[in-house]
Amino acid sequence: MNYTVDSASFHEYPQSLLLQLAELCIFHLRRQRFPDSDSRQDPTFPLWSAPPLCYQRVPASPAAGVYVPLFISAISHLSRRAAGQLPLFIVTWTMLAFGTAHAIIEVSRTTNFVHIFQQAIQNYYMDATGSYVFAFNALTEAEDILFSINNMLTDLFLLYRCYVIWGSVRVTILPGLLILSTFLTALIQSLNHIQASPLLAEMLLYEVRAVESTHNVAGRIWWMKREVSCLDAVPTNIFRKRYTKAIEIIVDSAALYCLLSIVLAATSSYTEGPGMLVHNILYSAGTQAANIIPTLAIVRGIRERDEDSKSTNRTATPSPKRAAMPSNRVFNVSEVMDIGKMQESV
């Protein structure tokens, strides 16, 4: 049955009562999704211990506003480049699809919460078995699963770049196992509706995987930079600068990713209080940060290589006297700036 609420009816309730009703709605939603939660049974505990959905989702909109210009810039630069950019095109468009899906789910969840809050005001109680509550919980679960898949796909792209740099499958075994472990832990946390411990384990796995992947990729590039420094070639400084920029992009992206993961891990055990509010806000922003961080690295990598190509074209490049790396294949040093991905994923 459709109905319209007169705005004047809201004037009958003091602001404190409206806040308590919002807390009551969130409390019942939380108790239904996490029946084993340690939260107190009293639904009138402070507002920050069960923040309304609008408080939690505030960072998602500006985060999406940051991601869209980065996506446009990445596609614009990739479309002007020569062939061989298909992997970056696929990754960029895939992250756009996941970012759009996250935004749609956020809007749908907020709409459902508004309807739940509306029913609570009109009927003086919340129907825990209603369609809006069911849709809200289903969308929450879908968001968690989508976030896990998003992180796994972006990590697989980094794994591919690691394979390209090393030219060996053996190097990707340990990172691949860490990616699989993180994904399975995230699924367990989402499907079983367990709140604290699996999420903490998931964040710790993110940290280990981020450090290990950064060590593999950045360490290999640093070694290549060291080998280039030994070449008897005129543009050695250009090559060293190229490697240095690649390392900066990778380390900066990893630092952002690790910082977000550390804060999420530190606040994941909070079931009430300001710590829970901080965790929910950062988790909401992390759904978009998982796409922002790798896209930013792609844009930086492409721009740096474009600038480097302009300076290289003005300098004659004689052939080096020996190979830069004793690897299984000849590695084109300009391919370094194609490493446009780093983890992300909040």
Greater confidence (168 vs 196) lies with 168
What's the whole-number mean pLDDT along residues 95-117? 81
- pLDDT of 141 reads 82
**Domain definitions of the chain by residue range:** 14-312+332-338
Of the candidates 28, 21, 29, 22, the one whose C-alpha atom is nearest the C-alpha of residue 54 is 22
* 338 pLDDT higher than 70: no
- pLDDT of 317 reads 47
What's the whole-number mean pLDDT along residues 11-32? 50
Q: How confident is the model at residue 163 (pLDDT cuts 50, 70, 90)?
A: confident
Distances (CA, A) of 134 to 23, 56, 137, 298: 18, 20, 5, 39
* 139 pLDDT higher than 70: yes
Question: Alpha-carbon distance 74 to 96, whole Å?
Answer: 11
CATH class of 14-312+332-338: mainly alpha
Greater confidence (6 vs 43) lies with 6
Greater confidence (46 vs 199) lies with 199
Q: How confident is the model at residue 232 (pLDDT cuts 50, 70, 90)?
A: low
- pLDDT of 194 reads 54
Average pLDDT value over all residues in the chain: 68
Q: Over pLDDT 70: what percentage of the chain?
A: 56
- pLDDT of 233 reads 55
What's the whole-number mean pLDDT along residues 181-206? 70
- pLDDT of 114 reads 75
- DSSP 8-state class, residue 271: S
Return the ∠ at Cα 324 (arms to 318 and 330), rounded to 5°.
95
3-state secondary structure of 242: helix
Its pTM stands at: 0.67
Of the candidates 64, 63, 85, 84, the one whose C-alpha atom is nearest the C-alpha of residue 74 is 85
Which range has the worst mean pLDDT, 3-12, 92-101, 247-256? 3-12
- pLDDT of 148 reads 83
What's the whole-number mean pLDDT along residues 36-56? 44
Q: How confident is the model at residue 337 (pLDDT cuts 50, 70, 90)?
A: very low
Of the candidates 105, 109, 108, 123, the one whose C-alpha atom is nearest the C-alpha of residue 24 is 123
Is the distance from CB of 106 to CB of 136 less than 8 angstroms? Answer: no
What's the whole-number mean pLDDT along residues 46-60? 47
Q: How confident is the model at residue 225 (pLDDT cuts 50, 70, 90)?
A: confident
